[in-house]
Structure formats: C-alpha cells, structure tokens
Amino acid sequence: MEKTWFLYLTAVSLVQCFLVCLAMNGPNSTTDQSALLAFKSHISLDHPYHRLVNNWSSATSVCDWIGVSCSKRHRRVTALNLPDMGIGGTIPPHIGNLSFLSYFNITNNTFHDHLPSEMARLHRLKFVDFGINNFGGGVPAWFGNLPELQYLHLRNNSFTGLVPASIGNISTLESLDLRYNFMEGRVPEEIGYLPKLKKLFMGFNHFSGSIPTIFNISSLELIDFSSNMLSGILPKDLCIFVPKLKFIYLSWNEIDGQIPLTLGECRELQIISLSLNKFSGFVPKAIGNLTLLQRLYFGGNDFKGMIPYSSLLFSLVRI
C-alpha cells in the first residue's frame, strides 16, 4: 500500500516537474515581450509622435499595450489587433515566438517584404488578416501547416506566383481572400478539399486554366473569380452540392459553354455575375425560380433569346 502511494506520488511529482520545467524552458511571457519589442523595432511609423512609441514600453506589461490581448491564465499574447494604424515595416522572425497567438490583424497598413517562415510555428493561429499592405513574394506554403486557421485574408498586396497546393490541407479554413494581387497559373484542385470553406475570394489576379472542382463543398456561400483569365465551362451539376451559395462572381474571364440548367437549385442565390465572358446558348428558365435574387449581370456574352420572363427579374437584370 505504502509502496503504491510512493510510486503514485513520484509519478505525480514527475508530471508536475515535467509541466513546470517545460514552462520554465519553453517560451513564456518574457519571450512574448522580446518578440514584440523586436516587432516594434522593425515598425516604421507614419509620424514620430505615433501613439505606439510610448505605449509599447518595456516598463509596462505587453498585455497593456495598444492592440495586444493576453490569455487570462498564463498572460501569453493571444491577439495582435493593429488595423488602420498608419504603421509599416517588415515582420521580423521573432514573431514566430508568440506561440499562443491566434488572432493577427494588421490590415490597412504599409508593411512590406515577405512573410517570415518562422510564422509557420504559430500553430494556434485562427485569424490572419494582412490585407491592404505591400507584402510580396509568393504566398507561403507553410500556411498549409497551420492546423486551426479559419480566415486567411491577404487581399490588396503584391503577392505573385501560384496558390500553394498546401492550402488544401487547412481543413478548418472558412474564408480565403487573395483578391487584388498578381497571382497566376492554375488554381490548384486542392482548394476543393477544404470541407468548411464558405468564402473564396480570388478576383483581380491573373489566374488561368479552368475553375477547380469546388462545387462539391457544401458549405460554400460565396465564389469570386472576377477579372482573371479563367477558361473552360461550368460543371453541369453546378448547383447540386452547394445549396447555400448566395454569391457567384465570375465576370471578366473567358469562360464559355452554356449556363448549367441546375442553376435553379441554388435557391439562396442573391447575386449572379457572369458578364464579359464567352457564354452562349439560352439562359435557363429555372432562374425565374430564384426568389432571393437581387442582381444579375449577364452582359458581354453571346446569349440567345431572352432572359426568361419574370416581372421580378425584369427589373433586376443589368446588362
């Protein structure tokens, strides 16, 4: 009996030591402070009296700094929320030490250069919003290793190259926004593996080839491939597996063939934008059954006949 107790206590203290020792040797709130001070030293401010200058001071806890949030228990940095701040510069590798970071929003600033690969260590990241900056280079493949990522917003930057196929591995991803960059090539079929994807914004790039197989992602609500160089046809079963689709933006591409008859199955459609493509044939009558439609853009194609009559629709069509 005593021996059992002894073994039990030894085991407990070993586990405790393991946890404490891990906490002592691994990253802690001091690590977070040095990571953020390194970040600050790489930040350029739009004016010398910017409010970050005195606020981000090592005399106070990082948890009291503007735009920084911490976990209650361990006082580790969980969120960096610095949109519209008039700040720029580069992201230093030290950011990769913020091991509890789950929310990172620096949208609408002037950060530039590439994203450091050390960010691949931020395994708790759920929300990344780096939109409206000057980041460049390729969209890093390591995003595919972030197991909890839900929002990846990189719009209005200068990213080039291909969409990494590894993005298809982010099974938690709900919203991907790559609009207004200089990306090119085929959009990888792996995008179609994302089981929770709701919003896919790929507009205003130089993507070519056909639309990847995405019309079987049942969570999809919005598809935007506006203003690219996509060709090929729309799948015949377009609307069979995407019952929640509300917005489809495909204007300004080179897509041909007919509009699939299944369009009427997307009962929640509000906006259909197909203008400036090479569509032909008749517009399916089933469009008249889409009671939530607000806008239709069909102009600049080669359609025959008339838009199926419906007094509601008649007032909505924008050619």
Ligand X SMILES: *[C@@H]1O[C@H](CO)[C@@H](O)[C@H](O)[C@H]1NC(C)=O
* DSSP at 213: S
Q: Is 165 in the site for ligand X (CB under 6 A)?
A: yes
Q: Is 122 in the site for ligand X (CB under 6 A)?
A: no
Whole-number Å distance between alpha carbons of 225 and 228? 7
Tokens 């802690």 sit at which residue? 28
Q: Is 201 in the site for ligand X (CB under 6 A)?
A: no
Q: Is 96 in the site for ligand X (CB under 6 A)?
A: yes
Residue whose CB is less far from ligand X, 93 or 140:
93
Shortest Cβ 51–ligand X spacing (Å): 7
Q: Is 171 in the site for ligand X (CB under 6 A)?
A: no
Which span (14-22, 82-90, 242-250, 274-282) binds ligand X, by CB under 6 A? 82-90
Shortest Cβ 257–ligand X spacing (Å): 19
Spell out, one character per residue from 5 to 44, where the chain touches ligand X: x when CB under 6 A holds, - when not.
-----------------------xxxx--x----------
Shortest Cβ 144–ligand X spacing (Å): 5
* DSSP at 181: S
Distances (CA, A) of 233 to 10, 165, 260, 286: 68, 22, 9, 19
Residue whose CB is less far from ligand X, 50 or 278:
50
Contact (CB, 8 A) for 99 and 74: no
Give the 3-state secondary structure percentages of the chain, helix then strand then coil, rounded to 5: 25, 25, 50
297 φ/ψ angles, rounded to the nearest 5 degrees: -120, 110
* DSSP at 314: H
C-alpha count within 13 angstroms, C-beta hemisphere, residue 111: 26
Residues at the interface with ligand X (CB under 6 A): 28-31, 34, 54-55, 57, 60, 64, 66, 83-84, 86, 93-94, 96-97, 105, 107-108, 118, 127, 129, 132, 144, 151, 153, 156, 165-166, 169, 180, 192-193, 195, 213, 216-217, 264, 285-286, 289
